[in-house]
A and B are shown apart, each in its own frame.
Chain A
Amino acid sequence: MQALTNKSIAVNRSPMTIWERLYLINIIKGMAITFSHMFKKQPTVRYPEQKREFSPVFRGLHVLNRDEQGRENCTACGLCAVACPAEAITMEAAERQEGEEHLYREEKYAAKYEINMLRCIFCGLCEEACPKDAIYLSETFAPANYTRRGFIYDKNDLLIPNTLTNASELAKAKGVEA
């Protein structure tokens, strides 16, 4: 039969020579190999102290965006929830009241916005579906939690700090995420 690739190596089934049957030579060879590994560089990333850099296209935890004046972008149109293949997003819309113009950019806003991080597959389709630039996937991932409830992120967890009133916290959040 003709070989499909030239990668396969035929097993050598000839009887072992006296040196091979002595084991010792080959054991010493093997030990030399393991010993040489003592001086090799460890690929380990010592995680909490040392973090691996994510690629710029990494899709991590979601953030809800604000505009330059610190107003929420989300209008609770529900396109992200429709786009979500894992059905992880739920929201409730509400109408902006008189005097809330500094909080929400448009007349409608999300009163409740929840993402279940256990359902989420981090595909980024919500990000693509959003017409208002409101949802983005950041470069962090969901930390461990003790309960399932802890993985349901509500609006407070997702919303980025206000640009105007909380600039220092925003900078801090950006620094951690970068």
Chain B
Amino acid sequence: MTLLAFDWAFIIEKLILIIIIVLTTLLITLYTTFGERKVAAILQDRPGPNRAGPFGLLQPLADGLKLIMKEEIIPTSASKWLFILGPGLAMTASLMTCAVIPWSTEIHLFGRVIALQIADINIGLLYVFAVVSMGVYGIMIGGWASNNKFSLMSALRAASQAISYEIAMGLALIALLMSTGTLSLKTIVADQVSGHWWNIVYQPLGFLIFFICAMAECNRTPFDLPEAENELNFGYHQEYSSMKLGFYLFAEYVNMIMSSAIMASMYFGGYDLPFFDESTVAPNIAAIIGVGTLLIKIVLFVFLFMWIRWTIPRFRYDQLMNLGWKKMIPLALLNMLITGALILSKL
């Protein structure tokens, strides 16, 4: 199927893969919101949502329906286009990350070898980094366009928080890059699968820094200063209603899942099931096992995110900046130095 010098089957295959991955991500996100409420409830000795459907399993649908049915309000003094653009941008940026995540090995279907990764680009890590940085634009634009002082303060906080923690995050990634020697996520995961230890063994400090920064980038408690209710009412989505608000709330959970997937891929072997040799089973089955393993790892990380959220109170803003600039960045630099020294000693 080659027409106009395009391999159309390839394009169709990628299109289907994109649709499947995006839809699955959204579905998982839907249930992450439910999971969040359930985890919060269980950690606080409550039963949590249990009315809609068996065990409350239809609760996310009810929540979504409620959000859609709400009146769509655009404040008269708001900048209309930017106001609409904000949540869309937040959502797009958070979904874009899934393009480079290797979900599993190849599957063989209709005589074709289909890689379960939308795009294996050789600068995967840089791409992730760039897209994660984009995420703050949604918050900034939304907060600014609302024309509300609280939203603006919140946007300001979000922007400075993201910038502060991105530095430490980038430095932690550079240390990982030094030890793996590649920027391609596919190669990073493949290296961990083929006999090597997982990267967490080589980069424990780097992982800790990355994890904390990822939490800050996702605006999760204890770093959820942009939506600190007691100071800023509702933060950057103060003026939003209906599905535009839903997009913002949704984007946070998509972000969480994506950073869990990235962490699992970079530090915890991605789709690698430990103590199991994938070559002993048929490639298609191995691919399915891989997807399942990665999903379990993602769920564990998401649970960790939630567990931390319902344990630790929010930082004060100066504490946040103090931690970011005076602790995380020196630690990340130290981590780089140690990694460099170890690589040198091995040569």
- Taking Cβ atoms with an 8 Å cutoff, the residues of A that contact B are 23, 27, 30-31, 33-35, 37-38, 40-44, 46
**Residue B311 CB within 8 A of the other chain:** yes
B46 near A34 with CB under 8 A, answer: no
Residues of B close to A35: CB separation below 8 A: 43, 307
Contact with A along B35-76 (1 / 0, CB 8 A): 000000011111100100000000000000000000000000
Residues A31 and B45 in contact, CB atoms below 8 Å apart:
no
- Name which residue of chain B comes closest to A38, CB basis: B42
B46 near A31 (CB under 8 angstroms)?
A: no
What CA separation (Å) do A93 and B46 show in the bound complex? Answer: 51
Cβ of A37: which chain B residues have Cβ within 8 Å of it?
42-45
Interface residues of B in 277-324 (CB under 8 A from A): 307-308, 310-312, 323
B47 touches A31 (CB 8 A): no
Q: Are B47 and A42 in contact (CB under 8 A)?
A: yes
Cα separation A121 to B202 with both chains bound (whole Å): 69
Tell me which residues across on chain B come within 8 A of A46, comparing CB atoms.
47, 50
B308 touches A31 (CB 8 A): yes
Task: Check if B312 sits within 8 Å of A30, measured CB to CB.
Answer: yes
Say how far B287's CB is from chain A's closest CB, in angstroms: 34
The total number of A-B Cβ pairs within 8 Å is: 34
Determine whether the beta carbon of B311 is less than 8 Å from that of A30.
yes
Q: Which of A30, A33, A44 contacts B46 (CB 8 A)?
A: A44
Nearest CB of chain A from residue B326's CB, rounded to whole Å: 11
- List 10 tightest A-B contacts by C-beta distance, closest first: A34-B311, A34-B43, A30-B311, A31-B311, A42-B45, A44-B47, A38-B42, A40-B45, A37-B43, A37-B45
Determine the chain A residues whose CB is within 8 A of the CB of B308 once the complex forms: 27, 31
- Tell me the complex Cα distance, A44–B47, Å: 7
The answer to whether B46 touches A42 (Cβ under 8 A) is yes
Residues of B within 8 A of A44 (CB): 45-47
Q: How far, in whole Å, are A141 and B317 apart by their CA atoms in the complex?
A: 48
List, sorted by A's number, 9 A–B pairs whose CB atoms are closer than 8 Å: A30-B312, A34-B307, A35-B307, A37-B43, A37-B45, A42-B47, A44-B47, A46-B47, A46-B50
Give the distance in Å from the alpha carbon of A42 to the alpha carbon of B44 in the complex: 9
Query: What's the minimum C-beta distance from A33 to chain B, rounded to whole angstroms?
Result: 8
Contact of A27 among B42, B47, B50, B311 (CB under 8 A): B311
Distance in angstroms from A169 CB to nearest chain B CB is 31
Complex Cα spacing A43 to B308, Å: 23
A81 to B43, CA, bound (A): 50
Known contacts A30-B312, A31-B308; is-contact A38 B43 (Cβ 8 Å):
yes
Residues 18-33 of chain B: 1 if any A CB is under 8 Å from the residue's CB, otherwise 0? 0000000000000000
> How far does the Cβ of B73 sit from chain A's closest Cβ, in whole Å?
27
Minimum CB distance partner of B50 in chain A: A46
Given contacts A34-B307, A35-B307, contact A27 B45 (CB under 8 A): no
Q: Which of B47, B50, B310, B323 is the one whose CB lies under 8 Å from A34?
A: B310
Asked whether A43 and B45 contact (CB < 8 A) given A27-B311, A31-B311, the answer is: yes
| B47 / chain A contacts, CB cutoff of 8 Å | 42, 44, 46
Mask, B89-129, CB within 8 Å of A = 1, is 00000000000000000000000000000000000000000
Question: Could you tell me the distance between the alpha carbons of A31 and B310 in the complex, rounded to whole angstroms?
Answer: 9
- A residues within 8 A CB of B43? 34-35, 37-38
Query: Measured between C-beta atoms, what is the minimum distance from B329 to chain A in Å?
Result: 16
CB distance from B300 to the nearest CB of A (A): 14
Distance of A43 from chain B, by nearest CB (Å): 7
Which chain B residues numbered 156 to 215 have a C-beta less than 8 Å away from chain A?
A: none
- Beyond A44-B47, A46-B47, 15 extra complex contacts between A and B, CB < 8 Å: A27-B308, A27-B312, A30-B311, A31-B307, A31-B311, A34-B307, A34-B310, A37-B43, A37-B44, A38-B43, A41-B45, A42-B45, A42-B47, A44-B45, A44-B46
Complex Cα–Cα for A43 and B45 (A): 7
Chain A, Cβ-Cβ closest to B42: A38
**B80 vs chain A, min Cβ distance (A):** 39
Minimum C-beta distance from A16 to chain B (A): 13
Closest residue of chain B to A40, judged by CB? B45
* Chain B proximity of A35: nearest CB distance (Å): 7
C-alpha gap A43/B47 in the complex (Å)? 9
- Complex: chain A residue closest to B44, CB-CB: A37
**With the chains together, A35 CA to B308 CA distance in Å?**
10
Which residues of B have CB within 8 Å of A38?
42-43
Q: Which residues of B contact A40 (CB under 8 A)?
A: 45
Instruction: Give min CB distance, B44 to chain A, whole Å.
Output: 7
